[in-house]
Amino acid sequence: MAQESSSPGGRADALSYAPIDWALLAATGFPFPADVPAAELLDELAAMLSSPDPVVRDDHAYTASAQWVREGRLDDQLVALGEAAVARLDHPEVQARTFAPLVLRCVLTRSRQLPGAIDQGTVQRWYAAFARWYPAEPDTRGWDDRLGWLHAVAHGADAAAAFARALPEQRADLLDLCARRIAAADADHRYLQMEDARLARAITGILLEPGLTEAEATGWLDVPAKALEGGGPGPVPAWAFNIFATLQALQVHLTRGLADGGVPPHAEAVAGRALELLRLPCPWLA
């Protein structure tokens, strides 16, 4: 990361900080590089979070970002981090898009501990961008042998739960957004890397947030119900498999609850509606 800056007289002088040794940072638990100017650090993290190298992107950039946000090291840069993540939702490369919601989740989670750190208008704008991307992301592979973890579905579910805490008025819409992701008819890939469980956790977390009516808590299930209309015998397409897998995972979550939140208020009604759909492939269910 050795760079130069121009002095007022036009002479280029080396900056007063050393390049970041990311391997060393990782080996020593990611101590914060306080000598690096914030703008330079954010630029480097943004580039690394788009990298096709999973060590650079995941093991180094994302792990460091998540830790430093959690520790409060980047509290003055939360908006900048969020803006950069939202911009990557339109990136041409899949790994850049799919790691963006993880950063948004970190930023939104930290902002809850810092009232006023991010204004609601900014969060609403981020949500609008996320809502456009999540159900439409074409590459839903969990893992790629070259790129490592992609996990658009799981990472998006994590961000959806964080948005639900930040934007109470959008909770019913977020349930619908998750439903549209689950039921996307153009999905080519079955959920093989626990995407169904991550979605179930997110949906349960949203259902745990106060203020949802029973109609709002169950209404999102109209989306998979409509997608499944007219189905019959034959091979189960990937999108239908994903619906059934997620609903099965959701049943477990609604029965057991979350360790940090318990069972949602409308769990019985949601589970009953989900069971109606699960009886389509499993008519033997009581």
Over the stretch 36-82, which tens digit does the pLDDT of each residue have?
999 999 999 999 999 999 999 999 999 999 999 999 999 999 999 99
Say what the pLDDT of residue 16 is.
62
Q: What are the backbone dihedrals phi and psi of residue 258, each rounded to the nearest 5 degrees, phi first?
A: -95, 145
Say what the pLDDT of residue 232 is.
75
**Could you tell me if 257 and 204 are in contact, meaning their C-beta atoms sit under 8 angstroms apart?**
yes
**Per-residue pLDDT for 2 more than 50?**
no
Residue 114 has what DSSP assignment? S
Q: What's the rounded Cα separation, in Å, for the pair 252 and 48?
A: 37
**Per-residue pLDDT for 12 more than 60?**
no
Report in angstroms the alpha-carbon separations of 55 from 95, 147, 190, 192, 266: 12, 9, 26, 22, 42
Q: What's the rounded Cα separation, in Å, for the pair 256 and 252?
A: 6
Q: What's the rounded Cα separation, in Å, for the pair 164 and 85?
A: 18
Percent of the chain with pLDDT over 90: 90
Q: Which residues contact 14 (CB under 8 A, 6 or more apart)?
A: 2, 4
**Could you tell me if 177 and 135 are in contact, meaning their C-beta atoms sit under 8 angstroms apart?**
yes
Percent of the chain with pLDDT over 70: 94
Worst-scoring range by mean pLDDT, 9-23, 94-108, 219-233? Answer: 9-23
**Per-residue pLDDT for 1 more than 60?**
no
Q: How many CB atoms lie within 10 A of CB 224?
A: 21
**Per-residue pLDDT for 32 more than 70?**
yes
Q: What's the rounded Cα separation, in Å, for the pair 214 and 262?
A: 17
**Could you tell me if 1 and 20 are in contact, meaning their C-beta atoms sit under 8 angstroms apart?**
yes
Strands 143-144 and 148-149: antiparallel
> The pTM is what?
0.92
**Tokens 């957004």 belong to which residue?**
177
Nearest to 69 by CA among 102, 116, 39: 102
pLDDT digits (tens, 9 = 90+) for 214-270: 999 999 999 999 999 987 788 899 999 999 999 999 999 999 999 999 999 999 999
Q: What is the mean pLDDT of the chain?
A: 93
Burial of residue 237 (CB within 10 Å: 0-12, 13-18, 19+) is middle
**Tokens 């439409």 belong to which residue?**
136
Say what the pLDDT of residue 234 is.
84
**Could you tell me if 263 and 257 are in contact, meaning their C-beta atoms sit under 8 angstroms apart?**
yes
Residue 170 has what DSSP assignment? G
Q: What's the rounded Cα separation, in Å, for the pair 18 and 85?
A: 26
**Per-residue pLDDT for 90 more than 70?**
yes
Q: How far is CA 215 from the centre of its chain?
A: 26
Say what the pLDDT of residue 185 is.
85
**Per-residue pLDDT for 11 more than 60?**
no
**Per-residue pLDDT for 5 more than 70?**
no
Q: What is the mean pLDDT of the segment spanning 175-196?
A: 94
